[in-house]
Amino acid sequence: MKKFYTYIHLLFLSANTTIHFGQSTIPFVHQLCYTESYVEKIKVTTQLNTASLSLQDKLRFTEKTFLKDHTEYLKKGKYPVHEVKYRAWTKIFPKWYRVADIIRTDETGVRSYFTSDNQYLPGGWSGHTYSSTENGIYSTGDGPGEGRYYHENHTGLSATAYQLHKESVAVFGLLAKHRFFYPTPQMLTILSKQGFTVVSTKQLIQISSPEIRITWKLTEKCIVREYLRQQNVIKTIMTRYKFVESIGQELKWTETEISPDFLENGDCIEVIGETTFCNYSLDCAGQTDFRTNDNEGQYEQVKIFPNPARDLMTVILPENDEAWTISIRSSSGTLVYSGSALSMLQIDVSQFVSGLYMIIATQGTQTFSSKFIKL
């Protein structure tokens, strides 16, 4: 059954390689930008015995977040390039770790660029004492403006995945892996012959094996992947899609990963990672290059991205041990939103009336505020 798992894994990596998924026409896109935000939380599934929690267990309940920008484009020869910039993060990386300014994936592998020093490491950055490792090569630059970087070649699996992605992009453009898709009857026939159990109705399509079960909920625009071990679900990934008017496609909007786990005292928990994808754009010229993190000083104010906002808005708050009380008021002073968060939250402003708003974060005697425009 391992070959089935690998087969379906590559199916998801390639998305629309040589098989047409879904029925809508995909516009061919050469450049695509979007924002990804992530929040990881712990959910207790039994009554928690707090007295028996170890320090390590307590640390697991710390909320982890990050915010990063993605830029994808095609270079000469139609090789897809994917660049990632971290904008903000809390509790994701250790204090001594230096996050690369740009992480670029192309046909050669993955290259992480460092343009600033790391105060916690002698020499200023993570790779200064090495020329190479078993996984890649550190360099101070082999071209104008490249600075310092660490380059890691593709492994066998990642090289295969990249080639499948390249073939997909050559036919469908960069939207292929982001849009809602589902297998055609021809693909279901192939999967059935490969040993998968196939169920197909007007509402859903499901394929399953002893190692994985995938369900396409057609009316909800949702894909659920359940990874199995001895008939038990060991991880669930639920991907939801939303129609993006500016692009005219159902694109990936949220992805929830749930993994059952245990604390050291035996209590059952679920590790829940919530990822949101938004601000899809075919024009990447307007991106702002800024970087903040919880290891390099507190935020001076409430940061809002994007601003102006049309639908989903990400709010980055000053680092604090206790939750901030969040309120949003219109220009007339009307309260339109209230809530709370520790360091970062996302707010759906799609139903707000267009205009100027004030967001206020309060904790004890501290108050921070910022303005934003709803388009």
Q: Residue 189: phi, psi to the nearest 5?
A: -65, -45
Average pLDDT on 189-197 reads 90
pLDDT band for position 69 (cuts 50, 70, 90): very high
Q: Which residue, chain included where needed, has tokens 């982001």?
A: 178
| Count of domains observed in the chain | 2
My answer on whether 234 and 339 are in the same domain is no
My answer on whether 178 and 239 are in the same domain is yes
CB 251 within 8 A of CB 175: yes
My answer on whether 258 and 316 are in the same domain is no
My answer on whether 241 and 346 are in the same domain is no
- For 199-208, the pLDDT digits (tens) are 999 999 999 9
Where does residue 374 fall: left (phi above 0), alpha (psi -120 to 50 degrees), or beta otherwise? beta
My answer on whether 248 and 351 are in the same domain is no
d(CA 89, CA 344): 9
Q: Which residue, chain included where needed, has tokens 């995909």?
A: 26
Q: Which residue, chain included where needed, has tokens 């604390």?
A: 263
Q: 83 or 321: which carries more pLDDT confidence?
A: 83
Contacts of residues 189-196 at CB distance under 8 Å and 24 or more positions apart, as own/partner, are 194/4, 194/7, 195/1, 195/4, 196/4, 196/8
My answer on whether 192 and 325 are in the same domain is no
> Whose CA is closest to 375, among 306, 286, 310, 330?
310
Is residue 134 in some structural domain? no
Domain finish residue from 220, 249, 281: 281
d(CA 298, CA 266): 36
Please determine, for residue 167, whether its predicted confidence score (pLDDT) is greater than 50. yes
Q: What is residue 368's predicted lDDT score, i.e. its pLDDT?
A: 79
Query: Within 13 Å of residue 207, how many CA atoms lie on the same side as its CB?
Result: 21
Average pLDDT on 125-129 reads 76
Which domain covers residue 340, as residue numbers? 303-374
Q: What is residue 286's predicted lDDT score, i.e. its pLDDT?
A: 45
Is residue 296 in some structural domain? no
Burial class (CB in 10 A: 0-12, 13-18, 19+), 351: exposed
My answer on whether 85 and 29 are in the same domain is yes
DSSP codes, 237-261: EEEEEEEETTTTEEEEEEEEEEEEE
Q: In Å, what is the CA distance from 50 to each residue of 55, 61, 63, 262, 269?
A: 11, 12, 18, 14, 13
My answer on whether 215 and 89 are in the same domain is yes
Domain finish residue from 249, 281, 313: 281
Is residue 12 in some structural domain? yes
My answer on whether 249 and 187 are in the same domain is yes
Residue 294 burial (CB count, 10 A): 18
Is residue 194 in some structural domain? yes
pLDDT band for position 290 (cuts 50, 70, 90): very low
My answer on whether 58 and 159 are in the same domain is yes
My answer on whether 163 and 213 are in the same domain is yes
CA 316 to chain centre: 16
d(CA 227, CA 209): 10
Q: What tokens appear for 49 in the block?
A: 């015995």
Residue 112 burial (CB count, 10 A): 21
Q: What is residue 30's predicted lDDT score, i.e. its pLDDT?
A: 87
Is residue 297 in some structural domain? no
Altogether, the residues listed in the chain come to a count of 375
My answer on whether 235 and 307 are in the same domain is no
Residue 135 burial (CB count, 10 A): 12
Helix (H) or strand (E) holding 103: strand 102-106
Residue 210 burial (CB count, 10 A): 14
Helix (H, G, I), strand (E, B) or coil at 262: strand
Q: What is residue 330's predicted lDDT score, i.e. its pLDDT?
A: 85
Is residue 147 in some structural domain? no
Identify the CATH number of the domain in which residue 350 sits: 2.60.40.3080
d(CA 331, CA 241): 33
Is residue 245 in some structural domain? yes
- For 219-266, the pLDDT digits (tens) are 999 999 999 998 899 999 999 999 988 888 899 999 999 998 888 888
Domain finish residue from 281, 312, 333: 281
CB 360 within 8 A of CB 333: no
Is residue 321 in some structural domain? yes
Averaged pLDDT of the chain:
81
